[in-house]
């Protein structure tokens, strides 16, 4: 199973810290590419500890400019209805 599908499968059980999601990927680069792909396709959302959505404009800062590795513990991932249908 691909790390992206494993991510969606794990999220069916509830939100996960990005620290946990990172462990599903073999390296940091595949993690950033995979999560950005899931976000872009609408399968997941990234939220802050306060449950505020991380806006789309900030994704580049996090995943392309590489600040996500410093913020792993402060962000959570949640699955969308679309993402749940992909693994159901």
> Which residue pairs, CB below 8 angstroms and at least 24 apart, start in 46-53?
46/18, 46/75, 46/76, 46/77, 46/78, 47/15, 47/75, 47/76, 47/77, 47/78, 48/74, 48/75, 48/76, 49/74, 49/75, 49/76
- Total number of domains in the chain: 1
Q: Is residue 71 pLDDT above 90, yes or no?
A: no
| Model pLDDT for residues 48-63, shown as the tens digit of each residue | 988 899 999 988 888 8
Strand 16-17 versus strand 75-79 pairing type: antiparallel
Give percent of the chain with pLDDT exceeding 90. 74
Q: Are 50 and 22 in contact (CB under 8 A)?
A: no
Cα–Cα separations (whole angstroms), residue 55 to 3, 10, 35, 48: 24, 23, 15, 10
pLDDT at 65 over 80: no
Put simply, whether the predicted model's pTM sits higher than 0.85 gets the answer yes
What is the rounded CA–CA span in Å between residue 45 and residue 27? Answer: 21
Domain interval for residue 36 = 3-87
């Amino acid at each position: 199973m691909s790390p992206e599908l494993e991510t969606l499968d794990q999220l069916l059980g509830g939100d996960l810290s990005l620290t946990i999601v990172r462990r599903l990927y073999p390296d940091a680069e595949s993690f950033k590419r995979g999560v950005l792909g899931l976000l872009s396709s609408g399968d997941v959302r990234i939220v802050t500890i306060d449950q505020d959505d991380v806006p789309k404009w900030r994704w580049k800062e996090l995943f392309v400019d590489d600040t996500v590795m410093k913020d792993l513990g402060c962000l959570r991932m949640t699955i969308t209805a679309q993402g749940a249908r992909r693994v159901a």
